[in-house]
Amino acid sequence: MKSFALISALACLAVASPLTAFVSDQQPLVSDARPQSHPGFDLDLSELRLVQLGEDEEPVWMTELDKVTSFDYSIPCSSNCSQINLKAEGVNFFDITDTQSLGSTAHLRASLSPTFPSPSASALVNPVLKKLSTDGPKKNLETLTNFRTRHYRSDITSQNAPESLQDLISISEFSHSWGQNTIIARINGSSATDDRTVIIGAHQDSTNMWPFLPAPGADDDGSGTVTILESYRALISSNFRPVRPVEFHWYSAEEGGLLGSREVAREYEGRSANVYAMSQFDMTAWVKQGTKEEVGIIMDYTDSALTEFNKKLVKAYLDIPYVETKCGASWGKAGYPSVFTIESTFENSNQLIHTARDRSDVSPEFSFEHMLEFSKLAVAFAIELGGWNKQ
């Protein structure tokens, strides 16, 4: 298996070679200067993929090369997409090649319109928040970024929980055809009648603008990965026994067009899984110099009622305010309520992502204290919506 074993709380990361190359400035490279392969990669740049730029846009066929290259470099496109710059221009896109059926039953959930109560479990949440620390995320991120890249086409068990929890926790790998698997940690709920699942997610993969170059991915999305891992650790060490099932997901291949989360969401939709709420954490570390420290709350491709609830969690449990911004996600496509938080507005977010400079030591703007605020949010989300059986 090529999936990343999750640090500390899930399993030990395999020994990885440290970064051996450093790109000081990620300027566009002419095609003959870019490596066309790298040892350990299984990536065919000529492979055709069906890509959508928005839920209301018609999908177009393009190659893997088209997905990552700016077409200003006169590289031909396989369809009418000469103005589409995708990864090179920071365009959000969905690779729907293998998940075209996602959302086929979303209309069945649209009429359900779940409601979300105001936060009311501070007596349960606050003691867990006191267990959060920057120590684990610092150590885990150092290990994670020692991989030359975590690209999903490159080759690259639970922690000691209280005995009372061991029978409730399961760690599994969701297999994907490209080899890097999604990791799912599930804490079963105590209720025999309420199977509504609460999901907290981040993506484990990284990429350079040109896929064969180094991609430490400290912020995108190493920060989100270790942020929710710290939340999971604090919950487990607090003997958290949810009423409803609570799952932590570390998705594969998000940088390829939300490939991993789309396949997981499609599988849940296919078996009519009862998902109560899903919260995604993507980039949680950067505080741009001269700006106000904030939590960015995504307003598009998300559930409005759950987003309002997420805002209330920020007000109740975090030491910084929220700000509204935009992006995209997978679970809403399947008709499941989802929210998405990020380090700031997109305008103030880390501009070094998808380069070899996406490292934690590159600037004081990379803040583990800022990441801790997002760990608080994930803990609150799990307890407020998952409930806690103290019996």
Question: In terms of pLDDT, which residue wins out, 232 or 327?
Answer: 232
d(CA 67, CA 79): 12
Same domain membership, residue 68 and residue 112: no
Q: Which helix (H) or strand (E) holds 186?
A: strand 182-187
319: Cβ–Cβ under 8 A, 6 or more apart, which residues?
373
Q: Is residue 195 reached through a cis peptide bond, with omega within 30 degrees of 0 on the bond before it? A: no
d(CA 275, CA 114): 10
Q: Does 271 map to a domain? A: yes
Residues 81-118 have pLDDT tens digits of: 433 446 656 667 899 999 999 999 988 887 777 899 99
Same domain membership, residue 75 and residue 163: no
- Domain residue limits at 132: 106-386
Q: Does 165 map to a domain? A: yes
Q: Does 310 map to a domain? A: yes
Residues 240-297 have pLDDT tens digits of: 999 999 999 999 999 999 999 999 999 999 999 999 999 999 999 999 999 999 999 9
d(CA 297, CA 378): 13
Q: Tell me: pLDDT of 7 over 60.
A: no
Domain C-terminal end among 95, 122, 139: 95
Q: Does 4 map to a domain? A: no
Residue 296: exposure state from Cβ atoms within 10 A (0-12, 13-18, ≥19): buried
Same domain membership, residue 251 and residue 129: yes
Q: Does 61 map to a domain? A: yes
Find out whether 229 and 152 touch, Cβ atoms under 8 Å.
no
Count how many domains the chain has. 2
pLDDT of the residue at 4: 44
pLDDT of the residue at 166: 80
Q: Does 25 map to a domain? A: no
Residues 64-76: what's their mean pLDDT?
A: 58
Closest CA to 210 of 60, 356, 48: 356
Same domain membership, residue 170 and residue 133: yes
Same domain membership, residue 273 and residue 369: yes
Closest CA to 6 of 278, 169, 242, 228: 228
**DSSP string across 100-148:** TTTTTTHHHHHTT----PPP--HHHHHHHHTT--SHHHHHHHHHHTTSS
375: Cβ–Cβ under 8 A, 6 or more apart, which residues?
132, 137, 227, 228, 230, 231, 234
Domain C-terminal end among 75, 95, 115: 95
pTM confidence score = 0.88
Q: What is the CATH number of the domain that holds 250?
A: 3.40.630.10
Same domain membership, residue 198 and residue 89: no
Q: Does 26 map to a domain? A: no
Q: Does 16 map to a domain? A: no
Residues 189-201: what's their mean pLDDT?
A: 97
Residues 33-53: what's their mean pLDDT?
A: 87
